[in-house]
């Protein structure tokens, strides 16, 4: 079945540091890939997405590139802010079949940014 694996956390950084959160996936075909962010006490917000190989999703300074050859979708940001402190989830949606329309999530990575 489909699965998503995120780097073990939590991640603690100082403001303006570089961020990388690793995400790898297992799926047949060409799934769509997503990063969601969850702020304390809130639901999930879509941060960025990529729907085919070599696509780069970007939003609010965050970027992730769909790498089919390494089945990865690592999240990066060049300079984090305190306001980026949240839980980040990598997710995939199958391209078709019985799992189409269903999101499969990783376990989440807690990011804490200190001033």
Partner 1 sequence: DAGVTQSPTHLIKTRGQQVTLRCSPKSGHDTVSWYQQALGQGPQFIFQYYEEEERQRGNFPDRFSGHQFPNYSSELNVNALLLGDSALYLCASTQGVAYEQYFGPGTRLTVT
Residue 41 CB, shortest distance to partner 1, in Å, is 8
Distance separating alpha carbons of residues 90 and 92, to the nearest angstrom: 7
44 contacts partner 1 (rule: CB under 8 A): yes
Residue 86 CB, shortest distance to partner 1, in Å, is 14
How many other CB atoms are found less than 10 A from the CB of residue 18? 10
74 contacts partner 1 (rule: CB under 8 A): no
Residues in the site for partner 1, rule: CB under 8 A? 4, 32, 34, 36, 42-46, 49, 51, 89, 91, 93, 98-108
């Amino acid at each position: 079945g489909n699965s998503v694996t995120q780097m073990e956390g939590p991640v603690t950084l100082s403001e303006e540091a570089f961020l990388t959160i690793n995400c790898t996936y297992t799926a047949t075909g060409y799934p769509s890939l997503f990063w969601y962010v969850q702020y304390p006490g809130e639901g999930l917000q879509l941060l960025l997405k990529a729907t085919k190989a070599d696509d780069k999703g970007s939003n609010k300074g965050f970027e992730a590139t769909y790498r089919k050859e390494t089945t990865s979708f690592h999240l990066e940001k060049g300079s984090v802010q305190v306001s980026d402190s949240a839980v980040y989830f990598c997710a995939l949606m199958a391209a078709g079949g019985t799992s189409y329309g269903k999101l499969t999530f990783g376990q989440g990575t807690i990011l804490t940014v200190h001033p």
